[in-house]
Amino acid sequence: MTGPGEEMHALVERLYPLCRSITGDGVRATLDIVGEYIPLQVHEVPTGTQVLDWTVPQEWNIRDAYVADSTGRRVVDFAASSLHVLGYSVPVSATMPLAELRGHLHTLPDHPSWVPYRTSYYKPEWGFCLAQETLDALPDGDYEVCVDSTLVDGHLTYAEHVVPGQVADEVIVSCHVCHPALANDNMAGVAVAVFLARALAEQRPYHTYRFVFAPGTIGAITWLARNAERIEQVKHGLVLACAGDRGRLTYKQSRRGDSGIDRVMRHVLAVSERPHQVNEFTPYGYDERQYCSPGFDLGVGSLTRTPYAGYPEYHTSADNPDFVSPEAMADTLAVCREAFSVLDRDRRYVNLSPYGEPQLGRRGLYEALGGRSDTKQAQMAMLWVLNLSDGEHSLLEVAERSGLPFDTVAAAADALLGAGLIKE
């Protein structure tokens, strides 16, 4: 039986091998596949465009790259994994002794069978990443090195998908799409975002949800630079990354620490009884760095399972599709859906009968038989909503203060709204 977990995992496996970077055809191919699931608006931003403090770099593409020994055998081969080439490597075609080549080789001595992920976006450089044990097996001698890449004026590519809501206020969900053959970081995040968008589209949500698929850092900065007029509509946001490993959920709060998404995520995680951790904001990690820079200071948190740089497989070839599980992705998706469900229903109401309790009984909202000690949750929820609906407390605060489930509180508010006892 196939659930969303398996479907998301299949999407991860399909996206995984592509050679993504902060620009280039790997990103386009990735977005093409995502576009088969949800319609995307793809943006191409020319090299040289000024975006905030940054400039869109030249576009990088690569056809082939290898290190070959004197017999012509490829001992390191881009065709086997896009991790093997240093991201943004400038072209090179040369023969050199191993001693000279070593300065361009990156390994992980502590994990000798794993290939690291390395880049050099802004300093012209070429290089290869390989397993330490591969390097150790190389005899001295001359090697042919080839990076058949281009680094020329072109574009930076990112995409958006919008689920229209009842109001123009937006929630952004942002995923980086710049990492090559890494599964958890971040094809799992992309897959969860895709299925989240599809789930939201099945209803008409209260907020408008905007999904941003963009290269890390420069992509988010480009989006922010090009959406200055939209920023004040962005009420909440979530950066999705590392969404599929088997570790517990981690929510990293926005810089503000008490923004709506922070409160919602804390509540949803707390009541769900899932193992989880809530962390303070830090200005490193993923693109929450940009959304939460002091000039924007958006209410954008970050949801991961094991967080940024928190697992040994991070940024290595060991972050492959086996490292992510259908169950973990399904769980991440479920938490997002629960959180957005709360976010969409959280409101502040005003009690229209604030002097004493209104008589719920004659409105059919209170059981007729008095004296019993087991007052029902639904009735307690109505009393809580009435008591705290002074325009200061939202339903989420009612849920937190009362200890009642948000759903029960929201249902009570609906009943009271229907009876004309509260208004928005």
386 binds a copy of itself (CB under 8 A): yes
Residue 299 interacting with a copy of itself (CB under 8 A): no
Give the span between the Cα atoms of 388 and 350, in whole angstroms: 8
Strand partners, 208: 170
Could you tell me the smallest distance in angstroms from the CB atom of residue 368 to a copy of itself? 4
Residue type present at position 81? S
Binding mask 263-282 for a copy of itself (x = CB under 8 A): -----------------x-x
165 DSSP assignment: -
**Using the rule CB under 8 A, is 221 a contact of a copy of itself?**
yes
Structure tokens at 98: 């191993």
Residue 412 Cβ, how far from a copy of itself at the closest point, in Å? 12
Quote the least distance from Cβ 230 to a copy of itself, whole Å.
Answer: 14
CA distances from 182 to 22, 158, 270, 315 (A): 14, 19, 30, 7
Least Cβ distance, residue 391 to a copy of itself (angstroms): 9
Rule CB under 8 A: choose which of 187, 224, 239, 339 binds a copy of itself.
224
Q: Is 92 helix (H, G, I), strand (E, B) or coil?
A: strand
> Should residue 353 be labelled a site residue for a copy of itself when binding is judged by CB under 8 A?
yes
Q: Is residue 375 at the binding interface for a copy of itself, with CB under 8 A as the rule?
A: yes
Q: Is 267 annotated as a binding residue?
A: no
- CA nearest neighbour of 405 among 345, 349, 360, 356: 345
Q: Does residue 380 belong to the site contacting a copy of itself (CB under 8 A)?
A: yes
Q: How far apart, in Å, are the Cα atoms of 273 and each of 164, 247, 283, 401? A: 31, 15, 28, 18
Q: Quick one: 37 or 121, whose CB is closer to a copy of itself?
A: 121
Answer yes or no: is 414 a known binding residue. no
Q: Which of 331, 310, 334, 329 is nearest to 13 (CA)?
A: 329
Q: Total residues at the site for a copy of itself (CB under 8 A)?
A: 62
Position among 252, 289, 305, 345 found at the interface with a copy of itself (CB under 8 A): 289
Closest CA to 54 of 232, 236, 216: 216
Given the complex with a copy of itself, which of 334 and 365 has the nearer CB atom?
Answer: 365
Decide if 236 contacts 251 (C-beta within 8 A). Answer: no
Tell which residue, 305, 300, 304, 303, has the closest CA to residue 289: 300
Contacts of 235 (CB under 8 A, 6+ apart): 169, 170, 171, 207, 260, 299
Residue positions forming the annotated binding site for Zn(2+):
179, 185, 315
The contact set with a copy of itself (CB under 8 A) reads 52-54, 87, 116-123, 125, 217, 220-221, 224-225, 255, 280, 282-284, 289-290, 292-297, 309, 314-315, 351, 353-359, 361-362, 368-375, 380, 383-384, 386-390, 401-402
Q: Which residues make up each annotated binding site?
A: 179, 185, 315
